[in-house]
Structure formats: structure tokens, C-alpha cells
Structure 1
Amino acid sequence: MSIMRNQPVRIVFILIVLLGVWMPGADAGTINALNAENLYVSGQIVNSHGEAIPEASVTLAVTGNDAPVKKTVLTDGNGRYEFKALFPAGSLLNARILLEARKLSYAPSVRISLLPIRASIDALGSSVYLAEANLTLMRVASPALWISGAVLLFVYVMIGFELVHRTLAALAGATLLLSCSYLVGPFYPDLRIISFEIAARSVDLNVIFLLFSMMMIVGVCEKTGMFQWLAHRCYRISGGRASLLAAVLMILTAVTSSFLDNVTTMLLIIPVTIRIARSLGLNPIALMVPEVFASNVGGTATLIGDPPNIMIGSYTGLTFMDFGLNLGLPCLLVMAVSVLFFLIYYAKDYRDVGKAIESKHPEPAIDFAIKDRRLLFLSLVSLGITIVLFLLHGILKMAPSIAALIGTTILLISVGRRVDIVELLETKVEWSTLVFFAALFTVIAAAQESGLIHLIADGVKSASGDSLIVAVLMILWVSALASAVIDNIPYTATMLPVVAYLTATVPGAQNGVLWWALAMGACLGGNGTLIGASANVVTAGMAEKAGYRIAFAQYLKICLPPMILSIVVCTIWLLAVEL
């Protein structure tokens, strides 16, 4: 006897089918898939700038049928969401499908009615209905915006006035925001500013690993005595003239800073500069100030020369070659103007030293010999490989940090026991700088989540009036003046999403000219004051330790005019060449 002729079995089968059709909140686990209807709803939640909104709450409600459904999901890191639901046959014919999205710092909700389209019938005879809904949420001022703005201002003030170390300032800001989100947020949802997941995603590992790798390479190179040897060669090349010595040292510093971090360059070259100046009877400040100015100019020219450029490159995907082609020539012009300015400014100091250095003064007491020639060879080979990979990373679709990590690993493996890697990690890697970047990224991400960056971008766009020339001038000059007052690293981090929005919306800006304006303004503007760039602060500290104090007003008097002059040169370049 067949199963369908068995009356008890038939009754049980019918009850199971009826139960599957009747159950509310139906899903794939409660409805017989045979002849059922499948609903797929997907889309993306963005803000008015077209930027994806992660962790937005999206609710799907299906009503007006025999199987009502209400489900809520969170968008992923790209603002995408997806719903899948299974319904009894015929349930979607007269159903109402509503979609609602919510997120802190946005208007309460967006509610739309969807009309699904039957796409196909699957192998089981079930109808497949699809619906695509991309929603745009509008920003509103919320308590989270004011709190994130206050914390960002707090970090700027702490760093700008050097009230605490910049790493502690950024770390305190990030901790305040996360504490507010997790200790107060559960009781007052409007104060949940940023989640740990978004904070973790905001840390740009490309920047972190690139800085780490270059620190390791420089740490090994330093042990060879290469930098002291180069500085002494500059002394010999000067041929008896202090003014030529200053020019050659500026060029050496600029070239070195194009491939190494500015701070590291100054840490290596200042001790040698002080010894050379003392042996000549010259005030070391007359060499150190031009050198640090040159280090910021040289660092502007390449992707890896200055932290703001590293951040811009990582954020935008611009390559090493892009930076070299667009910033190399204007930086050469700025360098020529800078050398000329300082030679005129310190002309009397250089003249007093005398023309014949060799005949009047002994060789400076510096150990300038190469300490380890094999280590020097291995270091130069590894550095050369790294630079070649930097040049090719755009073609290889490889992040710059990977190129740096490859070069670093090759160097460490090749040197073997010649270098103690533990000692290198402990003494040559600036962990405080890496922690500073990680914490700063979190503070900026909170400002972006709360809508503060959004408001700044809208304000800049409104002020520019959709004029590309005005936008270029605003980004260049505001960046230069702001970077002269505050550290250019947090300023650049704040401006990245702003410039990205302007690049996408201002007519004609799609060629990337605004990114070059930001790079020039942030890097060169740091020359304006003693606190404008990290290299300036380090130089002043080392000079004071050696007995030569560089006062804030003294530095401002010397370097503000050439900084303004350098921005004028960049303005002419951007308007004449890039537009």
C-alpha cells in the first residue's frame, strides 16, 4: 500500500503543510520550499555625499498578507544590506513591503514602499522576487556631533600648545570617545558616537606598516655611519665657503627627506651639523634652520617623504609616480627659492666665517668613516629594491606598505646576526608615533561618524561656489596657514574626507588637483612656525640640548616669509600647470 493511501499518514502530511503555510514570521526553515515564494531585498545606505554608512539599522516589514515578516539587519562596512525571506505561495501578491533605515546623527528614518519584481522560477517551482533599494540618509546635528567636535578640538589644543605629548593627546581623545560610546551610550543611545568595530576599521594599516618598515630600514642604515659620511663629504665639497656648505647641506637634507621620514633625517644630520659649525666658529642655528626648512620641502616631493603624503596616498590610492610627477618639479622650484632666501638672510654669518675654511679651521672632530662596508652594501641594495617597488607599486596594484615590508624583510634576513632585531625594534622604531597615528585615526573616524567632517565639507564647498580655482586656493592656503599653527598630521587626517568630497563634486577637480593642493599646503605650511611640523620641534629640542636655543618668535621671523613665498610658488604652479 502506498503512503498516500495510508489515511493516518495522509492526515499528518496535510497538517504539516498547513502548519508551514500558517506560521507567522515565515522563513526558509518553516515553509515548504515547494511552490513557495522567495523574496530577496538588497541595497546600500549612503549619506548625501554618496558615502557608505556602516552599521545603519535597516528594517524590512512585509504586511497585508497571511505571513507578516519584520526583520532588522545592520549594514556592513560598505553600507550594504541584504534580506532573504521565504513565503507561502501567493503571499506576496497583495503584500505591503516597507523599508526603514536609522542611524545616529542622521534624520530619524527613511521609509519607502517597495514593489518586488518576479525574476524567475527556481527548480522547485518557487517564484523568486527581487527588490533593490538604495537609501540616502540626511545628516542632523546631534549630541554626538558636539562631543566629537569638542574632543577633536581638545586634541588639537593639546598638540598645538604642547601641553602633553601628542601621542597621549590622541590616545586620550580616542579613549574619551570610546568610553562615552560604551559607558554612557547604552543608557543614552544618542551618545553612542563610534563603535569599536568602526574604530578598528578606521586605522589605516598601510600608513602604520609603511612608517614601521622605513623606521627599520633607517635604523640599519644608521649603524653603517653613512649619514655622518655624507655630511662630512658636504663639508669637503664646500671648498672653503660657508655659504656653499649651507646650500649643499640643504640639498642633502632635502634629498634624504624625500626617501626617509623628516624627523629621522634631522635626528641623523643635526649632531654632525653642530660639530661642523662649531669647528668653523659658526652659530649652528645658521645651518640647522635652513636644513629643517629643506627637510619639509624635500618631504613634500614624494609619497614617502612626509606623513601627510603617506596618508593622502593611502587614502586615495595615488602612486609613488603620481606624487613624483605632480610634486617633484614644484618642489624643485620651491627648493631653489628657499636656498636663495637663506643664503641672503644668513649672508653676514657666512661671510664672517671666512672664505678659506680649510686654511683657517681644522677638520671637524667627527668620526666620518664608514663603520661596516658590508652592512652598508646590504642596506643600499635593500633600499634600492624598496624604491624600485615604490616606483612599480601602482602597476603591480600593491600597497606601498607591502613594498616597504618586502625591502625591510630582505634587509633583516641578509644582515643576519650583524644587527640585533630586538634592539632595533626597541630603539629605532618610534612606537609612540605609530600609536599616535592609530589613536588619531579613531578620533577622526568619530568626527566623520557624527557628521562633523560632513558639515566641514559642505561649508568648504559652499564657500568655493563650485569654482575649481577658488577650491584650489582655499585648500592650498588654508592648509598652509592651519599647518603652521597646528601639527600637519591631524590636520591632514581631518581634511582627507573633505577633499575627497570636493574632488568628486567640484567641476574639473576629478584630475586630482585638490590632493596636490592639500599635500603642498600641509607639508610646506608646516615650515611656518616652530610647532608646524614634527621635524621643527625635534630640531629645536636637539639644538637646545646642545646649548643653542631656537625661540618661537625667532623661528617665526626667519621662516614665515620663505614659507609664504613657497606657497606663492605653488599657487602659480597649480593655476598655470595643474588646471
Structure 2
Amino acid sequence: MIGMYILIIFELTHRTVAAMFAAFVGLGVLSYLHERPSFETVVSWIDYETVGLLFGMMIMVGILTTTGVFEWAAVKAYKLSKGNLWHLTLILSIMTAVVSAFLDNVTTILLVGPVTLKLCKVLDVDPKIMILSEVIFSNVGGTATVIGDPPNIILANHEDIAPHISFLTFSLHVAPAIVLSTIALLAYLYFRYASTIHRDPSLHIKHEIDLWSRSLARLREDPDNPEEAQVFLYLENYIFSLEQQLRKKEMEGLATIEELEERYTIKDKGLLLKSVLVLLLVVIMFFMHSLLKIELTLAWIAVIGSILLILASGITNVEEVLEKVEFGTLMFFAALFVLMRILEELGLIEWIGDQLSAVIASVPEGNTRLFVAILLLMWVSGIASAFIDNIPYTTTLAPVVVQLANDPHLGLPLRPLIWALSLGTCLGGNGTVIGASANVVAVGLAEQQGFHISFMDFFKLGMPVVFITLSVSCVYMSIFHVLIHW
């Protein structure tokens, strides 16, 4: 796992290759220390629900993209913000947080992310801050409800925890911490990044020149190889033409809102109507699934929705549909799921739980023990969830929390421990690009549009957010669940 992080941090290879390599090495270690798992067993470790959900949503969003609605919505959003890019970032981020409280984070980012990326492309704005802000608010907002984030769903469905919490009870105790964390987060982002968001008329041409220049640097002009020499010459000429466009663009300046409205209109209103109806049906089914326990899983709902939209749109070329799917992201998730299960089989997550229990038991009973238990659960879970997937972590820690609460010698109430575990695992996912599924999806969407967001780009913004939100949540939990015993 450390090797995977080294490969990703220093960008020695693509994150998908790094995750596959780490999973392969992990299987070797597991086979050496324990019994070698069969191929069928390894394949069963992949969470096909997540992969299927992503696959279906990518197809639907991809088809919707062809209508031009994202560019149109981007211009309207910019007009609504009256040209203030910080206000625009604020509107999109808060909207993402609210939606994410009622839809899973991955779906939220797949719906909001393309709009943001098109917006940045239309307005000549670097999308890094906007897209990262949205995914962070998605993770924060999803923490507020039982159905907003996978760890919360796991906790709510645990047989020993379910009788003690409800949708309303959970939100009443956790949502205030999220509201306070959001206020602190907005203040941090404003003072740290508001002044860095600006329009640059030549941004995208500069970006393209950089991409092709790096490709040219990897080539070598070889007179003995005519094909390579021809490619080298073509790239040189193409970069020269881009540089000419750059000079022209810098002289022209930025387009006005009126010019943008004329340039970006809906291309296919019929397909847009069909796409919106199918997506609306899928979103309603997602919401009803959480409340009414519909037998269809989220993955099946997304896949069936994508099939319906393909049939309704009249697309006959399968390759055209599959081009909408970011297969690199899907493969990364598959490898990551295998790696996380290997860590679980090796006992790493269970060991973390045992150490937590031992430390908490060593503290004198009373408010001090409860304070230490909440503090440890939040911070250990937060840091761990930044580097390992929070789903297996929550699955392993849930019975540990129940065991701590049921131990008569410890005298710890169950509910505050549940709130602490939820806040730690969900908010900690903002720390790194692989801390939460939505993070990986957001970075994948950006790469699809030609914008590279590195591990360190995410880490520099995400890790301070983890410390800020966890600190605020710790203060809230200490006052309302240690001193006041709400």
C-alpha cells in the first residue's frame, strides 16, 4: 500500500496502474502468510454495486453531454453569480452539499461535476479549485444524513446499532456538526483560495501547448525512422500554430456574458427532454430506494436507466456509447477494492480497532473516558479514512463501537460513539484522492476533459479541510455529548 502511494504521489505511473500493482503485491503477501485465495474469491472482493452505479451513470451523463445542456447551464450559472467567480464557486459547492445529503456522493458528483468542468472551459477558468471544492462539500454534506454517505448506511443497517438510531435522530445529532464545519470550511476556502479564482482567456490554449510539449519531449527526432520523424514534425508544427492562437487570444480578451449566451445554446432539445426524464426517474428511484427498501440495488437502477436512455435516444453505435465511460476509473476502483479486502484479511483494520479499545479502556471512567473515546474514534477514523477506503473500515469498527458500549466496566453510551465514528470516517475521506469514491470520480471527470489533478493537488486542499472539520466537530461533540449529554 505504501508503494502505491509512492507511485501516485510522485506520478511515476497512472493511479490505476499503481493500484493494480499494489493489489498484485498484496495478493502475493497474503498468499505467503495465509492460504492463497482463488481467482473467484479475489473477483468477488470487487464491489460491483459501486462499479455498476458508476458505469450506468457515466453512460447517462455522457449522452446528456451531447445535448449541450452543460455548457448552457454553465453560462446561466455564471450569469446568476453576476460574474463573481467566488460567488459561483460558493453556489455550486453549497448546492452539491445539500444534494449530497439525500443522494450518494458518487451520483452527486457525476451530475454536478460535468456542469462545473464545462463552466470552467466556457469561462476560461482553471477548474481545480471549483471541482475540488465541490467534491469536498459533497463528502461533508453527505455526512449529515443516514443515506448521504456509505459509512452512515453501514452504521444504520448494523443489527446492533439500527434499533438505537433513526433518520431523524441521526440528522439531529450529526447535522449541527456539519453546519458548523461548513461555516468554518467556507471561511477557510474564502481566505485561502477566493483570490486565486480568475478568468484567463488563454488558459486552455496554454494547457494544450503544455500537454503536446510534454508529448513532444518524449519523442526523439530519428531520421532513420520516417514515421517517428513525421509525427515529430507534425507535433512541432501543431504547437507552433497553438502558440499563434495564444497570441491572438490574448489580444482578443474575454468574451462577455452576452457573447457566451449566443455561443452556447441547447443543440438537441428532444434528446435533452428524454435524458432529463430518464435521469429524473433514476434519481427518484435512488431516493425511494433508501426510504422504501426497493429490491433493485442502486447499480441496477443506474444500469437500467442507461439502457432506457440508449433505447430512447436511438443510438445504434455501441462504441459511441462506450466512449462515454471512464474505464480507467472503473479499473482503479476494482483494484482498490481488492487491495482494501487484502488489508482486511491481513488484519490491519482489526488491529486498529483492538488498539482503540485498549487505549479507551485504560482511561479513568466518567466524562474523561467518554471524551477520550470520542476524540480517538474521530481522529483515528479520520486519518485512517484518508488513506484506506472507509467502507471496510466502518464495517470493522461498527462491532468494536457496539462492544465498547456494551461493556459494563467501561460505562460508555452507544450513540455518541456512533456519531463520532460517522464524523471521523466521512470527513476523513477528504484527505486524499483515494479517501472517498467521489474523489476518484471527480479527478477522473477532470482528466476526461484534459485537466490533470495530481495527488498533491488534492492533498494540499483536502488535508487542511480534514483537520478543520474534525476540529470543529470535536468541539461540538465535547460540548453537546460530553458536558451536556444531549
Q: Same fold (TM over 0.5)?
A: yes
Alignment CA distance shift 1:210-1:325 (3 Å): farther
Corresponding residue number in structure 1 for 2:378: 476
Q: Which has the higher helix share?
A: 2
Alignment counterpart, residue 498 of structure 1, candidates 381, 392, 396:
396
Output aligned runs, 1:157-172, within 5 Å.
157-172=6-21
Corresponding residue number in structure 1 for 2:240: none
Instruction: In structure 1, list runs of 5 or more residues that go unmatched.
Output: 1-151, 279-283, 354-359
The letter of the residue matching 1:412 is: I
- In 2, the alpha carbon distance for the partners of 1:361 and 1:417 equals 33
Contact 1:216 1:424 in 2 (8 A): no
Alignment CA distance shift 1:476-1:526 (3 Å): farther
Corresponding residue number in structure 1 for 2:423: 517
Counterpart check, 1:225 vs 2:68: yes
Contact 1:155 1:170 in 2 (8 A): yes
SS in 2 for 1:428: coil
How many residue pairs align between the two structures?
Answer: 398
Alignment CA distance shift 1:334-1:538 (3 Å): farther
The letter of the residue matching 1:165 is: H
Output aligned runs, 1:116-155, within 5 Å.
152-155=1-4
Corresponding residue number in structure 2 for 1:272: 119
Counterpart check, 1:295 vs 2:140: no
The letter of the residue matching 2:353 is: A
Corresponding residue number in structure 1 for 2:297: 402
SS in 2 for 1:370: coil
Deviation at 1:371, TM superposition (A): 2.5
Alignment CA distance shift 1:475-1:154 (3 Å): farther
Output aligned runs, 1:72-221, within 5 Å.
152-178=1-27, 191-221=34-64
Alignment counterpart, residue 571 of structure 1, candidates 441, 452, 474:
474
- In 2, the alpha carbon distance for the partners of 1:471 and 1:235 equals 46
Output aligned runs, 1:242-391, within 5 Å.
242-252=85-95, 254=97, 259=103, 260=107, 262=109, 265-276=112-123, 278=124, 284-285=125-126, 288-302=128-142, 309-310=149-150, 313=153, 317=157, 330-346=177-193, 362-363=256-257, 365=260, 367-391=263-287
Alignment CA distance shift 1:577-1:159 (3 Å): farther
- In 2, the alpha carbon distance for the partners of 1:170 and 1:550 equals 15
User: TM-score by structure 2 length?
Assistant: 0.65
Corresponding residue number in structure 2 for 1:429: 325
Deviates more, 1:465-474 or 1:435-444: 465-474
The letter of the residue matching 2:345 is: E
The letter of the residue matching 1:391 is: F
Contact 2:86 2:197 in 1 (8 A): yes
- In 1, the alpha carbon distance for the partners of 2:457 and 2:464 equals 13
- In 2, the alpha carbon distance for the partners of 1:453 and 1:540 equals 32
Deviation at 1:336, TM superposition (A): 3.8
Alignment CA distance shift 1:352-1:427 (3 Å): closer
- In 2, the alpha carbon distance for the partners of 1:527 and 1:435 equals 15
- In 1, the alpha carbon distance for the partners of 2:464 and 2:28 equals 44
Corresponding residue number in structure 2 for 1:69: none
Contact 2:433 2:440 in 1 (8 A): no
Alignment CA distance shift 1:439-1:328 (3 Å): same
Deviation at 1:443, TM superposition (A): 2.8
Offset from partner CA, 1:435-481 (integer Å, 9 cap, x none) = 33333333333333333333222112222338554343333323444
- In 1, the alpha carbon distance for the partners of 2:199 and 2:292 equals 54
Q: Which has the higher strand share?
A: 1
Corresponding residue number in structure 1 for 2:233: none
Deviation at 1:430, TM superposition (A): 2.6
Contact 1:330 1:569 in 2 (8 A): yes
- In 2, the alpha carbon distance for the partners of 1:417 and 1:361 equals 33
Contact 2:23 2:338 in 1 (8 A): yes
- In 2, the alpha carbon distance for the partners of 1:429 and 1:211 equals 9
The letter of the residue matching 2:57 is: M
Deviation at 1:197, TM superposition (A): 4.6
User: TM-score by structure 1 length?
Assistant: 0.56
Alignment CA distance shift 1:407-1:534 (3 Å): closer
Offset from partner CA, 1:386-439 (integer Å, 9 cap, x none) = 23323332454346x724523542453255343457236522223333333333
Deviation at 1:495, TM superposition (A): 1.8
Bigger radius of gyration: 1
Contact 2:26 2:342 in 1 (8 A): yes
Deviation at 1:369, TM superposition (A): 1.9
Alignment CA distance shift 1:346-1:493 (3 Å): closer
- In 2, the alpha carbon distance for the partners of 1:242 and 1:417 equals 35
The letter of the residue matching 1:513 is: W
- In 2, the alpha carbon distance for the partners of 1:478 and 1:250 equals 27
Counterpart check, 1:234 vs 2:77: yes
Contact 1:217 1:411 in 2 (8 A): yes
Alignment CA distance shift 1:342-1:388 (3 Å): same
